[in-house]
Amino acid sequence: MQHCTISLSGETLFARATGALWWPAKRLLCVSDLHLGKSERIARRGGTMLPPYETRDTLTRLEAEIATLDPACVVSLGDSFDDGAAAHGLGADDRAWIARLQRGRRWVWIEGNHDPDLTGIGGVHLHSLPLPPLTFRHIAVPGEAGEVSGHYHPKAVLSLRGKHVSRPCFLHDSNRVILPAFGTFTGGLSWADPVFRTLMRAEATAVLTGPMAHAIPVPRTRSA
């Protein structure tokens, strides 16, 4: 199954196996936490060396989603770049690639905590995007309804055949959807983390990403 259907504030959304969210009524494609430039940022700060292909891998997968869905609007839901230097130091080829993806459609960069300044990369740059009855922002606000956010990189932690397996996942309930990170080399926060108990209602469901989208209830009593 390529997607699972989510109902939020009366709107039908598709949580796709890729980790992207599709709002068919608006032809809106939403991705979160691309973290472009992560390998370069880690190397620049003296961290573990990672293969320097994650930006191109992330853009390749994003381009495939755009080719499949032909969105009228793309919303990148914050932390699109791993830091300000990664955003402003983007190579000419990758900058041209993004410009090609933006052509002919509205493109919205939501400001994240990693990349508050996204000027000079095309598109529009907003703190949040209200499209009633939904609001798109980077970090969830407790008590809000109709909210689509990212930031936390949620992952499901499962026990399969005696082994612990983690999968990036959407978390959703009647108030909100929290997207998984779309970027290559992004980590994740276990669905057992206390922050999700604060944000998610008792009926919360996870949609696991990967080869197929698969919906499962979020356990209410669990350990990381």
136: which residues sit within 8 A by CB, 6+ positions away?
30, 75, 77, 108, 110, 128, 129, 130, 148, 149
Burial class (CB in 10 A: 0-12, 13-18, 19+), 171: buried
**Residue 87 pLDDT:** 63
Per-residue pLDDT reduced to its tens digit, 63-99: 999 999 999 999 999 888 866 565 666 778 888 999 9
Per-residue pLDDT reduced to its tens digit, 171-213: 999 999 999 999 987 778 999 999 999 999 989 999 999 999 9
86: which residues sit within 8 A by CB, 6+ positions away?
36, 37, 38, 40, 41, 115
**Model pTM?**
0.89
Separation CA 128–CA 150 (nearest Å): 12
Residue 147 corresponds to which amino acid? E
Domain 3-217 has CATH 3.60.21: yes
Residue 145: how many other CB atoms lie within 10 Å = 12
Nearest one of 103, 119, 38 to 71, comparing CA atoms: 103
Label residue 135 by pLDDT band (50, 70, 90): very high
Ordered alpha helix ranges (H), 156-213: 194-199
Angle at 161 between CA 159 and CA 163, to 5 degrees: 50
